[in-house]
Amino acid sequence: MKNKRITAVFLVLILTLGSLYVLQRLLVPKYQTGIVEGSMVEEYYKDESDHEVLFIGDCEVYENFSTITLWEKYGITSYIRGSAQQLTWQSYYLLEDALKYETPKVVVFNVLALKYNEPQNEAYNRMSIDGMKWFMSKINNIKASMTEEENFIDYVFPLLRYHSRWSELTGDDFKHLFSKNLVTHNGYYMRVDSKAQSEFPDPRPLADYTLGEKAMGYMQKMVNLCKEKGIKIILIKAPTEYPHWYDEWDAQVVEFAKNNNVEYINYIPLQDEIGLDMSVDTYDAGLHLNTSGAEKMADYFGAYLKANYDLTDYRDNEKYVAIWQEKVDFYNAMKAQQYDELETYGELVSFGANAIED
């Protein structure tokens, strides 16, 4: 009798845990259509080949550099570990995390996020962190990133955070319960549509232009980590002009680069040299580049990398060619689909804002 009851307890316990697991999988956002930015961090682990160049940063890397162009033109293998509004400490921990799996030759960090010195936004935090695998890097990342309203335990058990999504479930949530599609091209977020850059509002003066200690500290940690592992690090400011990148900030990064003996390139003044035409090369009026812009940027940056860093041209290596051919095909197929939609509907329908399911 007693044994029977104990068996029942265990049976119910197992069923409950199983249900919790399935419920959790069901209720966490899948980020498969529309807002795909939440899938980026997780997707990195699916890419089994290694990379010689690793981009780290926010939308100014994952929307502005076409990894496929880098491959096609220069045989450079690269990956972008970026996510929406990825804060400097998040970049550091994602780099730390990536270095567990591979040691690239070059790490590229975009400095725009230095403007944030405090945790910002819960939604972005989740997109940047949820996809990480559970190692110390993730734990430290959470601790550094949490806003006041957040709890650590919500990251451990995402169900606690997303339980109320039951009323917003879409087809995607069921379709991608246990498997997800790739949404980026080695971290690059493709948008082929175009919306000309217009006038930006005048930048507001700031009372204090000093970049925050926490942000600068994590950039320092990134540099140190790279040096330790014999990796070259390049600091960049992507060529897009909004949000405004103040000269005073730029000067501090220049100073930092000099002190650490690393390279820093601000691409804003180099728009013409890159060949960017902001009336066509951006999809959201100048904030981010579209694919034609990202390809130009990648072309320019690839040539620079090739000339200045000892990178391998893997286009002679069969193993890599096979891997990358698949990526190129996926890239071209998505590009074709997007152009197709543009032609048919005048706008993208299964990508971007229009694709967000209600």
Partner 1 sequence: MKKKVLSIMLTCMLSLGILAGCGSGDSPASGSHYDSAPPTSQDVGTQADTPATDLGYIYTANGVDVAVKASMEPIVAAWGEPDKYFESESCAFQGMDKVYTYGSVVISTYPENDKDYVLTIELKDDTITTAEGIYIGSAKADVTAAYGTATSETDVALVYEKGDCQLTFFFEDDCVTNITYAAIMN
Partner 2 sequence: MLFTSIEFVGFLILVVALYYLVPRKIQWPLLLVFSYIFYYIADPRYLLFILVTTLSTYGISIVMENINNASKEYLAAHKAELSKEEKKAYKAGVKAKKWKWLLICLFLNIGILSVTKYTNFVINNINSFLNDTSKLQLVDMIVPMGISFYTFQTMGYIIDVYRGKQEAQRNPFKLALFVSFFPQLVQGPISRYGDLAPSLFAEHKFEEKTFTFGLYRLLWGYFKKVVIADRMLSAVTTLVQQPEVYSGTYVFVAMLFYAFELYCDFTGGIDITIGIAEMMGIKLAENFNLPYFSKNIKEYWNRWHITMGTWFTDYIFYPISVCGPMLKISKWSRNHLGEVIGKRVPVYLSSFVVWLTTGIWHGAAWNFIVWGLMNFVVIMISQELEPLYAKFHKRFSVKGKPLYEGFQIIRTILLMSAIRMFDCYRDVPLTFQMVGSMFTKCNPGIFTDGSLMQIGLTASDYIVLFIGLIIVLTVSILKVKVGSVREVLFAKPAFVYYAVMAVMFLVIMVFGAYGVGYDSSQFIYNQF
The C-alpha atoms of residue 160 and residue 140 are separated, in whole angstroms, by 20
Per CB under 8 A, the segment of 10-18, 147-155, 294-302, 324-332 that binds partner 1 is 147-155
DSSP calls for 168-191: G--HHHHHTSS-----SBTTB---
- Report, in angstroms and rounded to the nearest whole number, the Rg of the chain calculated over CA atoms: 22
Among 43, 52, 58, 130, binds partner 1 (CB under 8 A): 58
Q: Which helix (H) or strand (E) holds 204?
A: none
Among 1, 5, 48, 148, binds partner 1 (CB under 8 A): 148
Handedness of CA 135, 141, 144, 150 (dihedral sign): negative
The C-alpha atoms of residue 356 and residue 31 are separated, in whole angstroms, by 9
177 binds partner 2 (CB under 8 A): no
35 binds partner 1 (CB under 8 A): yes
Among 33, 64, 69, 85, binds partner 1 (CB under 8 A): 85
54 binds partner 1 (CB under 8 A): no
DSSP calls for 41-110: HHHGGG--S--SEEEEESHHHHTT--HHHHHHHH---EEEEE-TT--HHHHHHHHHHHTTT---SEEEEE
Helix axes 67-74, 291-308, angle to 10 degrees: 50
8 binds partner 2 (CB under 8 A): yes
Quick one: 96 or 130, whose CB is closer to partner 2? Answer: 130
Subset of residues 131 to 150 that bind partner 2, contact rule: CB under 8 A:
149-150
Per CB under 8 A, the segment of 93-101, 204-212, 232-240, 336-344 that binds partner 1 is 204-212
CA neighbours closer than 13 Å in the CB half-sphere of residue 92? 24
The residues, any chain, with a CB within 8 Å of residue 5's CB and separated by 6 or more, are none
Binding track, positions 225-244, relative to partner 1; x by CB under 8 A: -----------------x--
Per CB under 8 A, the segment of 13-21, 95-103, 128-136, 323-331 that binds partner 2 is 13-21
The C-alpha atoms of residue 338 and residue 190 are separated, in whole angstroms, by 9
Binding track, positions 16-35, relative to partner 2; x by CB under 8 A: x--xx--x---x--------
The C-alpha atoms of residue 58 and residue 50 are separated, in whole angstroms, by 21
Quick one: 153 or 207, whose CB is closer to partner 2? Answer: 153
Q: How far apart are CB 288 and partner 1 at their closest, in Å? A: 8
Q: How far apart are CB 169 and partner 2 at their closest, in Å? A: 11
Indicate which of partner 1, partner 2, none lies near residue 326 (CB less than 5 to 8 Å, by partner kind): none
Among 2, 5, 46, 204, binds partner 1 (CB under 8 A): 204
Per CB under 8 A, the segment of 150-158, 177-185, 213-221, 228-236 that binds partner 1 is 150-158
SS3 163: helix
Report the candidate in 127, 144, 146, 126 with the shortest Cα–Cα distance to residue 217: 144
Per CB under 8 A, the segment of 9-17, 146-154, 274-282, 311-319 that binds partner 1 is 146-154
Indicate which of partner 2, partner 1, none lies near residue 164 (CB less than 5 to 8 Å, by partner kind): partner 2
Q: How far apart are CB 147 and partner 1 at their closest, in Å? A: 7
Among 30, 161, 191, 237, binds partner 2 (CB under 8 A): 161
Subset of residues 109 to 128 that bind partner 1, contact rule: CB under 8 A:
121, 123-124, 127
Among 100, 133, 143, 229, binds partner 1 (CB under 8 A): 143
Q: How many residues of this chain interact with partner 1, rule: CB under 8 A? A: 38
15 binds partner 2 (CB under 8 A): yes
Report the candidate in 182, 183, 187 with the shortest Cα–Cα distance to residue 63: 187
CA angle 264, 37, 66 (to 5 degrees): 50
Alpha-helical (H) ranges within the chain are 2-27, 40-43, 59-62, 67-74, 88-98, 122-129, 136-145, 152-156, 158-162, 171-175, 213-228, 247-260, 271-274, 291-308, 318-345
Q: How far apart are CB 157 and partner 2 at their closest, in Å? A: 9
